[in-house]
Structure 1
Amino acid sequence: PDGSVAVALRDRAEVATFVLEKSTETQALSFRKGEPLETAVEPIALARKGSELLVATGWSHTLERFDLETRTKRASVDLPKEPRAVVARADGTVFVSHASAGVLTRVLGSHVLPMKLDDGPTNVRQGFALAALGNDVIAPDVSVNPEDMNDPSMEEPVGGYGGGMRCNNTWRPGWTLDEAQFPRRAGNKDPWAGKTADAKDGNLRRGVGADFLHNDPKRVVPAVGFDTCVRMMSNTFTLHRVQGQTPTVTHMGTTCLLPRAVAIHAGRREAYLACLGTNRVHTIALGSEGDAKPPRITRDWKLPSGPMGLAVDGDALYVWSQFAHALTRISLLDEPKPEPAKAVAKAAPAKADAPATNVLATFALPRETARTADVDLGRELFHASGDTRISEDGRACASCHPDGRTDGISWSTPSGKRKPLFLAGRVGDGPFGWKGEHKTLGEHITHTIVANLHGSGLTAAATKSLEAYLKVMPGPPATKDNLSGPVIRGKQLFASAEVGCTGCHRGQTFTDEERHDVGTGGEFRTPSLRSIAGAGPYNHGGKYASLGDFLKSTDGKMGHTAQLPPEDFNALVLYLSSL
């Protein structure tokens, strides 16, 4: 209301502030830069709460409260890992969404209360956006199922990460997938051998089985037949609505697997959702208060690449597309009025795919740094959802590696539990994979896409672009306490023969890139220790919740820590967390 603007600078550990001023001579508007607010590492989300500015930090996982009048920090509380959005309800309750903690956090003063939302016994949520509507909180997210169906009557799962397939031998009505679009994989057991279907049913397809959650009629056909291999979708778009302390959930299919921003128009009772990966913005009708009907998507717009920011101003919606570096203005009126000529900015129009109804203007903004075409294409591919070249069930690379990091989920695979590797700032010269089984990055990308995600595969040129992006993907910002006394002591212990860490973890990347059997289930490549503080849970299967637990449980197998007094053990953990 006062014309001030706050901008989180996640790579500088500060919030920049600006004040909108009007010239008394020319009446022109301009921004005057104020003093920045110093925050913990990686401020990533902001919200206003009365006279306070709330700052959620990603890498430091804190919620900080600043007094906007005195510009001082009032308080700070620790949060679960990887917060991505913060919002304050009308009643003052603060909510924080997380990319990998699997919770929605409620903050009351200094009390942090993680809420486990009921998406099913094995599901985990990933949240990147929040918005408030009075005393309701709208939380779009992705519900992730890393497990196969645990039914002892079914055969072993057929490849893949999470979701996967399980087969049984019963006849029942259901949905089967068209083999023309989802062909049977080589080596799969053919349960139709010797079986016949009802001749009256012309819709039966010899496909891979039922798709419980996909609601696209172009991809599934009704059938009564031998419903054998059941496909469980590993990622589905869900919308949580927290009323008071009671969350409700609506499963909305696979239309938005990378939700990144949400905005509310209270008068229209609508939410607008930015979907990274499909480059669309959905309108979601929330219904009137007390309306028992679930939220539903009523319209959407195709936007330039990378929609990641939304703002509602009157009956207009503004969309910031990060990858295209473009700003789009959309009319929310059912019959939009023509845009006045004087309001059109003098900038080059950005390219958009099939201009949508109600889109009034899209303008590309200048960039401060140049990027290569390979890196730009690689970034788009990394975040592409619903692309069957990359995955069969619509997942993007960024689904398991948000911001190039790890989702912290232990996925079911044919080789056992596996946690996605931390990529940002860690992609070196190889070998690649948990076991270092691939000599080149391109080979590893192809194997992951085709063998694990069952995508049809990328061209050599597209694979090269994805490699280019992964190699320049920046790691998290450095921590501020890497020169403190305990950290220096931890560094000394790390390098000592007594503890023995540097036998395998050495060099700039803290890895010898070799395979070792340290009693954890076979030979595994020594992983880098860069950014290890945010790479949990730890070991290849995500068995250990904290770094301290991991070090204690592997004593004698990976270094020696049991002899250390508590202060030295804690110093070693602090040093590792500073890398």
Structure 2
Amino acid sequence: MRTTASTFFLAGLTSLAALAACKSGEQTSPTDATPQPASNAAPAAEPARARKPPLVREGGALIRSPSEPALWLADEDQQVVRRIALPADAQNPPVAVKMPGPPAAVLALDDRVLVTVRGIRKTDDPASPYEGPGLLLVMRPDPAAGLVEMGRVELPADAWGLAITPDESTALVTSPWTHAVSAVDLKTLEKRWTLDVPREPRAVVVLPDGKTAYVTHIDRATLSRIDAVDGQARVKDLPFPAAPLRTPPDPARREAATLAYSAVLSPDGARLFVPRHALGAMGESAWNGQNTVDILSTVDESPLAVRAPRWFVMQSKPFQKTLGEFGLEEADPHLTGPAPAQIGEVFVQPRAVVYRKKTRTLLVASEGTDMLVELDALSLEPSLGALRKYDLGVDTNTEDDKPGATRCGAPTGIALSEDEGTAFVFCRSSHDLAIVRLDAFDKRAPYESSPPGIFSLGPDLLPEQAAIGRRLYYNARDWLMSGSFACAGCHPEGRDDGHVWHEDIRENYEQKGKYEPNAMHAFEDKQAFEGFLKGAPRQTPMLAGRVAAFGPYGWKGESPNLKHRVIVGFGLHRWLGGGPLSYSADKTLPRAEAIIAFARQGLVPPPRDHHEKTAEEKRGEELFNDANVGCATCHVPKTDYTNRALVGLGPWAFDKARFDTEMEDDWKFKTPSLLYIAGSAPYYHDGSVATLEELIERNGKRMGHTDHLSKEDRAALVAFLKTL
């Protein structure tokens, strides 16, 4: 273990605080008490028990109780909260407490358990949509029932992230789909305020002063900072560039960060750690960017790592060798920056993070590789290398492996044992609990790796094929499907990452005049060899609730059905990884069919707000269906607001510095579904429009005819679109 003087100082403060707490709660000893007549003696009062502080102040999928040997698990897919007694024993199965909807996070206090519930589900089907409102449940542990509800607070739909203030008086809750952050008074169980924030807010942490909070977003690098948490709260953007040591000084690249599901403070609150994926970071074979743990100094709100003043081109020898193996040019000036080049992925699709005080390290759940990764919390750039990787799954890079085979699929939540020598990990896609013995980093007792203990949480509620598909959907290790990025990397929870990718399209080698997608990368990459261009813009489409139709699929409708599109994706989602038919059908087809089964039976659509339409929304619906406006001509309401046909948009003013033109100047695109459109900005294939208001304002006669509408009618049309 690495120890400094500050460690002993903090330990001393802890001991003094504990001593003071004991003294403040001192009871008069029996020998000093005044004797009472035996005949009138009342039963002796139980000594007041000191209230135990929560072990963490940020909620998550898995939390250890501060007051009893147990774990609390938010099992979203099965719509229950589970109490898992410790030590986990098959003879003592978890107690499952049914929730009114899918629970997202739990947070255990001394005598209460807080639970965020994404919405109300009126059916037992785990893949059925849920409705608003979101909920914060306050529950009391019960030996028999597991949990008993004490109260609930209605919040904006899709209640997800959770944190409490240091005095335990206020809970903060994020609502991703409705882009809101709310505060709840835990004494009165009343909502104190709700703030509108940019899309997909996820993790929330509160500084030790209890007055300032930071919120991460799943589709951007910039944080939301909330001031005056305890009063008239207000929100502002706080720039927080992604992977500054490895990202060129391009504002678009620095802002391109995704998958910031979690965040954690150092014990003194001086540093904020945010694991995420930096789409703009450079490195060897970085077709989709690089993983990162970015650190914010909360003292002056500056990134701990600062971009270097100069960027330069260096030769990446390992990458040149790879190019040579493909028969391409040996020389490849590859931009990597002045920081050490990251060889391989340290983690993929970070989902949860905890701070291990004993060793001053971070534990990150790597959803895509079925690993728990331990990083140095004192490092300027922790994600450049791992101190230890704990493999929770199995290597699926051999042809003998069954699709989706793993011990622990999609690690989603982490909790530490009391001595921090063991990590408990919730394996979401395989529905297990992994028990991991951690490295003590003690030279006197070298660590010997061993497989994790696996504790089953019961059968999967999905049909077998869809259950396999769930494991594949989150898996980035299966070389038949992707190059170090799973479906969930671009389609988190079946939604979208808000990013515009670059899709390379080239002429078929055997059929001249036929063009097909060949590869994809996050940003333009000017290679020294011929064939890889800047790429055509392709915004990530949303999947959940939009894949019921047979076909066609793809922005150009190039895939006649969903199976074809998934197999095309297997080729696209790897740089230099080969085309869609590079591998035998007996291996690709079962994987594609399983993923499709999960996409249709397991991906849960965002919450719908079923309410009586306002006068403005009704006016917008009339305009939408008006033949003179023409929206419903292509976006047919009866078929999920699309006819799935190709529509010509006419010449397009695209960004020539970043993208290539459409092949053969073809500006026809498949009509997208408008379901859930309000939460899937930006719009168009190239993401060139940021809001629905801007889309309608600039549309003219491109899609229908909106140029003749009044300002009020345009606003009404937007209002209706937001109800879909």
TM-score grouping bracket, smaller chain normalisation: 0.7 to 0.9
Structure 2: which amino acid aligns with 1:301?
A: Y
- Which residue in the other structure is 1:105 paired with? 224
CA spacing shift, 1:231–1:294, aligned 2, 3 Å: closer
CA spacing shift, 1:117–1:250, aligned 2, 3 Å: farther
1:334, distance to aligned residue in structure 2 (A):
2.9
| Among 67, 75, 78, the residue aligned to 2:196 | 78
Structure 1: which amino acid aligns with 2:722?
A: S
Between the aligned residues of both structures, percent identity stands at: 27
Structure 2: which amino acid aligns with 1:269?
A: R
Q: Secondary structure of 1:66's match?
A: strand
Determine if contact 1:147/1:412 at 8 Å carries over to the other structure.
no
CA spacing shift, 1:451–1:46, aligned 2, 3 Å: closer
Q: Secondary structure of 1:103's match?
A: strand
Residue 474 (1) aligns with residue 616 (2)? no
1:31, distance to aligned residue in structure 2 (A):
2.4
Q: Distance in 1 between matches of 2:612 and 2:321?
A: 56
How is 1:437-476 mapped onto 2 (pairs within 5 angstroms)? 437-451=558-572, 453=574, 454=577, 457=583, 459-472=588-601, 473-476=603-606
* Structure 2 spans left out of the alignment, 5+ residues: 1-52, 54-109, 121-133, 228-232, 291-312, 393-407, 443-447, 506-535, 653-666
1:577, distance to aligned residue in structure 2 (A):
1.4
* Cα offsets for 1:382-404 (capped at 9, x unmatched): 21124332233x12222111111
CA spacing shift, 1:388–1:145, aligned 2, 3 Å: farther
Q: Distance in 1 between matches of 2:314 and 2:195?
A: 53
Q: How many residues align?
A: 483
- Which residue in the other structure is 2:213 paired with? 94
CA spacing shift, 1:90–1:103, aligned 2, 3 Å: same
Q: Distance in 1 between matches of 2:609 and 2:145?
A: 38
- Which residue in the other structure is 1:218 paired with? none
1:487, distance to aligned residue in structure 2 (A):
2.2
Q: Distance in 1 between matches of 2:496 and 2:668?
A: 22
- Which residue in the other structure is 1:20 paired with? 141
Determine if contact 2:361/2:375 at 8 Å carries over to the other structure.
yes
| Among 499, 512, 523, the residue aligned to 2:668 | 523
- Which residue in the other structure is 2:185 paired with? 67
Q: Distance in 2 between matches of 1:143 and 1:227?
A: 26
Q: Secondary structure of 2:151's match?
A: coil
- Which residue in the other structure is 2:502 paired with? 412
Larger Rg: 2
CA spacing shift, 1:293–1:577, aligned 2, 3 Å: closer
CA spacing shift, 1:110–1:563, aligned 2, 3 Å: same
Structure 2: which amino acid aligns with 1:424?
A: A
1:364, distance to aligned residue in structure 2 (A):
1.2
Structure 2: which amino acid aligns with 1:278?
A: T
Q: Distance in 2 between matches of 1:261 and 1:429?
A: 35
1:463, distance to aligned residue in structure 2 (A):
1.4
Structure 1: which amino acid aligns with 2:219?
A: S
* Structure 1 spans left out of the alignment, 5+ residues: 23-27, 150-157, 165-170, 192-225, 239-248, 337-354
Q: Distance in 2 between matches of 1:310 and 1:140?
A: 14
* Cα offsets for 1:257-277 (capped at 9, x unmatched): 200001112343122111111
Q: Distance in 2 between matches of 1:74 and 1:81?
A: 21
- Which residue in the other structure is 2:542 paired with? 422
Q: Secondary structure of 2:607's match?
A: coil
Q: Secondary structure of 1:16's match?
A: strand
* Cα offsets for 1:456-484 (capped at 9, x unmatched): 55521111111212222221110255633
How is 1:151-230 mapped onto 2 (pairs within 5 angstroms)? 174-177=316-319, 183-184=325-326, 190-191=328-329, 226-228=330-332, 230=334
Q: Secondary structure of 2:599's match?
A: helix
Q: Distance in 1 between matches of 2:209 and 2:350?
A: 26
CA spacing shift, 1:356–1:32, aligned 2, 3 Å: farther
- Which residue in the other structure is 1:31 paired with? 147
Q: Distance in 1 between matches of 2:221 and 2:160?
A: 18
Q: Distance in 1 between matches of 2:591 and 2:679?
A: 29
1:374, distance to aligned residue in structure 2 (A):
1.3
Q: Distance in 2 between matches of 1:412 and 1:330?
A: 39
- Which residue in the other structure is 1:402 paired with? 492
Q: Secondary structure of 2:199's match?
A: coil
- Which residue in the other structure is 1:200 paired with? none
* Cα offsets for 1:401-460 (capped at 9, x unmatched): 111111111112235111111111101211010011110111111222214533655521
Residue 324 (1) aligns with residue 455 (2)? no
| Among 356, 365, 368, the residue aligned to 2:457 | 365
Residue 58 (1) aligns with residue 189 (2)? no
- Which residue in the other structure is 1:204 paired with? none
Q: Distance in 2 between matches of 1:85 and 1:163?
A: 22
| Among 681, 706, 718, the residue aligned to 1:561 | 706
Determine if contact 1:406/1:535 at 8 Å carries over to the other structure.
yes
- Which residue in the other structure is 2:275 paired with? 140
CA spacing shift, 1:335–1:106, aligned 2, 3 Å: closer
- Which residue in the other structure is 2:481 paired with? 390
1:293, distance to aligned residue in structure 2 (A):
8.4
Determine if contact 1:163/1:231 at 8 Å carries over to the other structure.
no
Determine if contact 1:89/1:137 at 8 Å carries over to the other structure.
no
CA spacing shift, 1:266–1:567, aligned 2, 3 Å: farther
Q: Distance in 1 between matches of 2:622 and 2:314?
A: 65
Q: Secondary structure of 2:722's match?
A: helix
Structure 1: which amino acid aligns with 2:387?
A: T
* Cα offsets for 1:309-328 (capped at 9, x unmatched): 12234224321111122223
Which stretch has the larger CA shift, 507-516 or 445-454?
445-454
Determine if contact 2:261/2:351 at 8 Å carries over to the other structure.
yes
CA spacing shift, 1:183–1:482, aligned 2, 3 Å: farther
Determine if contact 2:346/2:386 at 8 Å carries over to the other structure.
no
CA spacing shift, 1:162–1:278, aligned 2, 3 Å: closer
1:85, distance to aligned residue in structure 2 (A):
1.3
Q: What's the RMSD between the two structures over aligned residues?
A: 3.3
Q: Distance in 2 between matches of 1:181 and 1:386?
A: 22
Q: Secondary structure of 1:573's match?
A: helix
Residue 117 (1) aligns with residue 241 (2)? yes
Determine if contact 1:161/1:412 at 8 Å carries over to the other structure.
no
- Which residue in the other structure is 1:300 paired with? 389
CA spacing shift, 1:146–1:566, aligned 2, 3 Å: farther
Structure 2: which amino acid aligns with 1:508?
A: T
Determine if contact 1:146/1:412 at 8 Å carries over to the other structure.
no
Structure 2: which amino acid aligns with 1:14?
A: L
Residue 488 (1) aligns with residue 640 (2)? no
Determine if contact 1:250/1:294 at 8 Å carries over to the other structure.
no
Structure 2: which amino acid aligns with 1:3?
A: D
- Which residue in the other structure is 1:514 paired with? 645
Residue 41 (1) aligns with residue 157 (2)? yes
| Among 568, 574, 579, the residue aligned to 2:719 | 574
Q: Distance in 1 between matches of 2:257 and 2:343?
A: 14
Higher normalized strand content (fraction of residues): 1
